[in-house]
Amino acid sequence: MAPQANGTTNGNGADENNGSTVPEVNPPVDISIALHPNDSNAVPEILKGISSFGDAPSIDKDQTRLALLAKARDLVRALETPRETMIKHCWAQPGCYTAITSCYNLGVFSVLASDGGKPRKVTEIASILQTNSEVLTRLMKHIAAMGYIKETGNDEYAPTSFSKALTIPIIGDGYPCLAGGAHESCSKFPEYMAKANYATPTDVQAGPYQYAFNTKMNMFEYMQAHQPLGKQFNHHMGGYRQGRPSWMDSDFYPVEDRLIKDMENSSDAALLVDVGGSLGHDLQEFGRKYAQAPGRLILQDLPVVIDAIQQLDPKIERMNHDFHTEQPVKGARAYYMHSVLHDWPDNVCKSILKQLAAAMKPGYSKLLINENIIPDTGADWQATALDMMMITLFSSKERTRLNWCELLESPELGLKIVGIWSVQNGVESLIECELK
């Protein structure tokens, strides 16, 4: 990629004719800073931290694994030069996403995983899939260079645990889904923000997503209208929820004491209503963990989602419902929303919450919100990454504790927060609300 001769550059390589309003750094930063490690002084301390785990750390324990992983990431960031980090962001990672998505769509990872995962030549894979071996060679070489498949010879590869996992729809479908129905909004977000004079996006009908995709639809509507994106997104949400601390576990939220203990005895009493519950993953989990709990389990979502469910425990009731409208189940023990409110700005959230508050029974019903709470410092990268998706896709946000208090305890809702539960290394928390 040769630089274009359409402007002059100063001694730092900055374009002097780009019309930028960014102030100049004085004194200017020397180019040599980009060619040395980002933080060489931190390396000895990071290595000491890694060595403290010993020669054989128990990485089956999530707390140890995550702590060691954080140190490993610290080491990579410290050792990289700024120039290498820039190339990783601008070339390597976007290129890898492109290559993985293309190979996923072709079925490459299923071929790699078949027959015990034996090494295969690219020409063999191309022959099985009846596709172009020249392009496939280039795609797989970059995926291997990034460490996501194993290079076992000249244009020969074997699967990794990651590439095998891509054959599971709830893991693999996120790639084509976001490539086709989300990432354009991320790419055009800087352009949108410049045109909006960097005002906080709050318009769900004319936000960054609508600008990028030239549509009046929100992301959910767009994906459902452009299948298989909608189906893939439902799978992606199932993958997102895997392996995360669950509020249903005894060391997270006291389900027996807070929900089941004072449950009404009538035959039509509803125990848990999962509002906007997608394919029912959470209710399935609840049903397994509390099989003897009394009361109805009700899954609510739009018809296009409910109709796409292929397997669901028969004791879970399916109910078509738009949570922007009146809640049809009155006086349930608990109304539950998982990763729903973060999709909407505050004004829309209040409209949704009003429907639920109106259906709640004073002194009995609870509202359970399963969402991220962004801490004031030391935020987890998964939560901040999700916040970037929220602002670009939904004109919304991941919320801090103060944000949640201001929203849920808005005077017009008549709700109060009675408890917030979380666990160590848990990205999401459970917020319990009742009527005032």
Our separate counts of H helices and E strands in the chain read 20, 11
Domain 84-167 classified CATH 1.20.1260.10? no
Is residue 393 within 8 A of residue 182, CB to CB? The reply is yes
- Which positions are annotated as active-site residues? 342
Structure tokens at 319: 């109910």
pLDDT at res. 150: 98
pLDDT at res. 4: 42
pLDDT at res. 21: 67
Residues in contact with 283: Cβ distance below 8 Å, sequence separation at least 6, in sequence order:
272, 274, 277, 297, 299, 313, 316
List the one residue out of 252, 262, 339 whose CA is nearest residue 289.
252
CATH code of the domain made up of 255-435: 3.40.50.150
pLDDT at res. 22: 73
Is residue 140 within 8 A of residue 99, CB to CB? The reply is yes
Domain with CATH 1.10.10.10 in the chain: 84-167
Burial class of residue 324 in the structure, from the number of CB atoms within 10 Å of its CB (0-12 exposed, 13-18 middle, 19+ buried): exposed
Domain with CATH 3.40.50.150 in the chain: 255-435
pLDDT tens-digit profile, the chain (436 residues):
443 434 334 445 444 444 456 788 888 899 999 999 999 999 999 999 999 999 988 888 888 998 999 999 999 999 999 999 999 999 999 999 999 999 999 999 999 999 999 999 999 999 999 999 999 999 999 999 999 999 999 999 999 999 999 999 999 999 999 999 999 999 999 999 999 999 999 999 999 999 999 999 999 999 999 999 999 998 998 888 887 889 999 889 999 999 999 999 898 999 999 999 998 989 999 999 999 999 999 999 999 999 989 899 999 999 999 999 999 999 999 999 999 999 999 999 999 999 999 999 999 999 999 999 998 898 989 889 999 999 999 999 999 999 999 999 999 999 999 999 998 766 789 999 999 9
Gap between the Cα atoms of 34 and 397, Å rounded = 33
pLDDT tens-digit map of 178-211: 999 999 999 999 999 999 999 999 999 999 999 9
Q: Report pTM.
A: 0.84
